Each structure stands twice: as C-alpha cells, then as structure tokens.
A and B are shown apart, each in its own frame.
Chain A
Amino acid sequence: MKSKEYTKQLEEYLLEKRNAHFRLAYSYVKNDEDAWDILQDAIVKALRAIHKHQYPEYINSWFYRILINACLDFLRKRKRFISIEETDLETAIDHYQDLDLQQALDNLPTELKTIIILRYFEDQKIGDIAKILDLNENTVKTKLYRSLKLLRMDLEETIYE
C-alpha cells in the first residue's frame, strides 16, 4: 500500500520536474536520445527502489542522486567510444554561442560541473546540493569556489593563448 502511494508521489514529482531533469542529463551528453536513456534509467531505478520499500525522506535530493549516478554510468561507458563521438561533440559545441565558456564548463570534473548546474542554473540550496552529492555543506562550498576559480582560469588561458 505504502509503495503505491510513493509511486504516485514519485510520478507527480517526475512530471513536474521533467524539464530540469532532462536538461541536467542533456548537459552531460548533448543529445536528446542519450539524455532520455539516462532519464529512463534513473526513473526505473527509482521505481525499483520504492518497490523494495526503500522510501526516500526527501524525494528531490534522492532522485537527483540517482539521476547524477545514471549520468556518470553513461559517461563512463561513452569514454570508450570517444573517437566515434567526436563528430557529435563538434556539432554540439557549434550550437553554443559562448563557446569558450561552455567548453570550460564541460571540461570541469563532473562533480564540479554538477555543483555549478545545481547551484547557479537551478538555484538549489547548498544544503540540498550537499544531500544530493552526499557531502557536507562546507565541502560543497569549497568545491563551488574551486569550480568558479577553475572556470575563470580556464577562460584566461584561452584568452592569453
């Protein structure tokens, strides 16, 4: 009975936040199809967890964790196929106006990129980000500061090259 209620709750949450979830996945893989595969993986995994009576306290941070893990799973798999993906990547980058900055963001370690997306694009609270990434708040702040610094340094390098 309980798992039914949670499934319902999860469905409402997923539908409400669908665009944010999709964009997050998309920003890692840069194409619709892979972004959907990742999101679907995450949804099925979340449903299975609920079915096994693992009920989250905070659905948002819980699901984001699952989603980010699904992204990481996917990226790890793709690392092997970089040569095939190169052309895709070029077209994807073409599409961005702020080419250098976008590249700088993409070149950040995945965790730092995630923190930037969650904090600055989605306006999530430091406390929530800490829960999603299973870190304490101070670590998130330090990492956030580090990412901003890296982004800036990266930009400077491009400018003065």
Chain B
Amino acid sequence: MSKDELIKNNHSLSDLKQDFFAIQPPERLEKRISKTISWEIIKRRTKQYASVFSLCFVLFVGGLNLNESFAMAMNDVPIIGAIVRVLSFNFATLDTGNITANVETPVITGLTNEALEETLNAKYYDESKALYEEFIKEVGDPSSFEGHMGFDTGFVVKTDTEELLSIGRYYVNTAGSSSTTFEYDTIDKKEGLVITLPSLFKDQTYIEVISNYLIEEMQRQMKEDEGKIYWVGDSEIEPFERIEENQDFYISAEHKLVLSFDKYTIAPGYMGIIEFIIPTELISELLVSDKYIR
C-alpha cells in the first residue's frame, strides 16, 4: 500500500467514523438497561423462592394467610366430589394507558390431599403477590412514569388426565422488550403428591444422559435449520453443558417427559421459551417405573 493510498484510506475511514458516531442511541437506553438488570434480579429471586417452596411444601401446611377477596373467591367455588379442577383467580389488573398489568393465579380444587392443595394454592398466591408488588415498586409513581411497561403473569394447564395435572405458570414483562419464564408443577392426582424431576429417576445419572442427548439434539437442529441457534459448542462463551437437577419439566398427556428452558438460558432471546421432548427409550432404564413416563 503506498503512502498516498494510506492517506486516502485514513481520510475515508474518518468519514465512516463520523457516520458511526452519527448513530443516535435512543434516549431511553439508560432506563432500559437498568430495567433489564433489575428484572433479571427479580426473576432470579422469585425463582429461587419458588423452588425452595416446592421442595419443602409439606412443612408449610397450616397457618396460611390468604387475603379476604381470595378466600371469598374460594368459597364461591362449587366443589363437586373428587373432580380436580383448576380455576383462574384474577389477582390484579391495571391499565393506565402506558402501564398494564394482568395477574392471573391458578387455584386448584378437588385434590384428595387437601393439605397439598392448600399449600400449592398458597404458593401460587404468594408468588403472584410478590411479583405484583415488585412490579409496582419498579414502576414507582405511575403519574410520573414515562414510556410503556407491561406485566403479565398467568398459567396454562399443560396436561390434565385422570392421573396427572401439569400446570405451568408464566411471567412476561414488557419493558421495551419482553422476557419470559415458565415454571411447572406436575401433580399425581390419585396419590396427591407433587412429582419432582429427581423423584422420577433411580439416581442422578439422568442429568448426564439427558444433557448429552440435548447437546446432540441442539446441534442437529442447528444443522438442519440455519435460523435456529443454541448456545452449544466450544466457540460459545457460556455454552449449555448440563441440565439442572430440578430443571423445569412437565409430563405430557402422552406420558412423555418434556423439559423446558426459559428465554435466554440456552439460546438467544428470539428463540423464546424452548421445550424438548425426551425420547422415552433414552431414559427408560433410568426411570423408577413406567407409571408416569412411558
């Protein structure tokens, strides 16, 4: 490269540099960054709280303090025999134009194990309450709040068979962009107990077996479809390595084990919430029995 050319290059590069600095980041960028961070912390806290809760649910029976309107809603519910039903309780709705919130809480009725039912309902109620309060705190004074903020939490019944009930609670918050998490409870209606992931297996080898399968499956899907990206492989900074002992899961009506991954945990945000159906033949040797999964 001659000297003249270099000078020419440097000159044109400075033009490009000007263009680069002409990019105007949005005014609300600072706020959005802070929001993203605080929501991430809130979600983590709620999640920790939820998993602790479901692990020691037996200890929490009794002394539950539900608020009045909730108790009233419960009384209005006709309880028919032993039919297990999931009702929706509208904990809160808020709409001020730029702030919207909708909080739906599941209410389980008709479980033969009443203590369990009460514990689960109390857990759902407390969670909704905690999330809503955090949201209100985050918004601060609604009259001086600028921009749009939305919060939506509710639930879906993933499986409802004679034997099993799988409820997934979700949280969506829209502070500029959305982020979502899903948490599941799978209940054996007849036995009246909550099924945890470790309780399905003889020992902990499932973690490795399923993780290895998932890594292969992610790589296969990426090869097949260029638009799919999972964070696996050596080139990733924080690659997916293994599932958690208590990874979010549910059991489908077809008796298949389905694992669920929250947004951002194993893939970029646009991939959303990701579910993997685990082939039963892969894990059949590891299962305690084929009662739930087959």
CB neighbors of B among A1-43 (8 A): 7, 10-11, 14-15, 18-19, 22-23, 26-27, 32, 36-37, 39-41, 43
Instruction: Tell me which residues across on chain A come within 8 A of B19, comparing CB atoms.
Output: 96-98, 102
Query: With A80-B226, A155-B12 as given contacts, are A22 and B23 in contact (CB-CB < 8 Å)?
Result: yes
Q: Does B142 contact A (CB under 8 A)?
A: no
Q: Does B29 contact A (CB under 8 A)?
A: yes
Q: Does A115 contact B (CB under 8 A)?
A: no
The listed residue (B9, B176, B238, B269) touching A41 by CB distance below 8 A is B269
CB neighbors of B among A82-124 (8 A): 96-98, 101-102, 105, 116-117, 120-121
Contact flags B185-222 to A (C-beta < 8 A → 1, else 0):
00000000000000000000000000000000000000
Contact present for B229 and A7 (CB under 8 Å): no
Contact present for A121 and B16 (CB under 8 Å): yes
CB neighbors of A among B251-274 (8 A): 264-265, 268-270
Instruction: Tell me which residues across on chain A come within 8 A of B97, comparing CB atoms.
Output: none
Instruction: Tell me which residues across on chain B come within 8 A of A43, comparing CB atoms.
Output: 33, 36-37, 40
Query: With A18-B29, A44-B269, A73-B268 as given contacts, are A101 and B226 in contact (CB-CB < 8 Å)?
Result: no
Q: Does A151 contact B (CB under 8 A)?
A: yes
Instruction: Tell me which residues across on chain A come within 8 A of B16, comparing CB atoms.
Output: 98, 101-102, 105, 116, 120-121
Q: Does B30 contact A (CB under 8 A)?
A: yes
Contact present for A73 and B229 (CB under 8 Å): yes
User: What is the interface size of chain B, counting residues whose CB is below 8 A from a CB of the partner?
Assistant: 39
Q: Does A125 contact B (CB under 8 A)?
A: no
Q: Does B25 contact A (CB under 8 A)?
A: yes
Contact present for A65 and B237 (CB under 8 Å): yes
**Shortest CB–CB separation between residue A30 and chain B, in angstroms?**
9
Nearest A residue (CB) for B175:
A40
How long is the Cα–Cα vector from A109 to B40 in the complex, in angstroms? 34
Instruction: Tell me which residues across on chain B come within 8 A of A26, comparing CB atoms.
Output: 23, 25
The listed residue (B5, B30, B226, B238) touching A45 by CB distance below 8 A is B238
Contact flags B27-40 to A (C-beta < 8 A → 1, else 0):
00110111011001
How long is the Cα–Cα vector from A97 to B8 in the complex, in angstroms? 17
Nearest B residue (CB) for A22:
B25
**Shortest CB–CB separation between residue B47 and chain A, in angstroms?**
11
Chain A to chain B contacts (Cβ below 8 Å), 28 pairs: A15-B33, A15-B34, A18-B29, A19-B29, A22-B25, A26-B23, A26-B25, A27-B20, A32-B26, A36-B177, A40-B176, A40-B269, A41-B264, A41-B268, A44-B179, A47-B37, A47-B40, A48-B265, A49-B237, A74-B268, A76-B226, A98-B15, A120-B17, A121-B21, A151-B9, A151-B12, A152-B1, A152-B5
